[in-house]
Amino acid sequence: MSLTDKLTYFCPSCFKKISKGIKLCPFCGTNISHWETNTTYEEQLVHALRHPISEVRMGAIISLGNKKFQQAAIPLAECALAYPNDIIQNLEILRSIGSLLDSKARRAALQLLKSHPSSLIRERITNP
């Protein structure tokens, strides 16, 4: 059994587990190769913020911050609110949002995070 036989594959659109090499997702009907070729890398990273595996989300969070992708501000904040118990991930989200240029979207994202359930996250917004 090779390493690729042990990997878990997910539909890039709905994140349901699928078999290797499948062309159409049996759950959402997405044409996988079409989705991958017609979605920009940055859009794929933003979409990955909803992935069920936290390590995938963390990779997307770090990449979006490193790329300083301005359109990711609100989706990053929404990710933090969707997974409020993952404090390490949420701190990285704050770092990523903090790396963005000042903009209406960045300010709106930080405003959203002021309602975060974690006092640590809320405190980091007011006292960076």
Instruction: Say what the pLDDT of residue 126 is.
Output: 74
Query: Which of 108, 95, 105, 103 lies closest to 64, judged by CA?
Result: 95
CA distance 49 to 64: 10
pTM: 0.89
CA distance 102 to 123: 19
Q: How many CB atoms lie within 10 A of CB 28?
A: 12
pLDDT digits (tens, 9 = 90+) for 33-58: 999 899 999 999 999 999 999 999 99
User: What are the domain boundaries of the chain?
Assistant: 1-39, 41-128
- Angle subtended at Cα 89 by Cα 97 and Cα 39, rounded to the nearest 5 degrees: 65
Whether pLDDT at 68 is above 90:
yes
Architecture of domain 41-128: Alpha Horseshoe (1.25)
Q: What mean pLDDT, rounded, does the chain reach?
A: 92
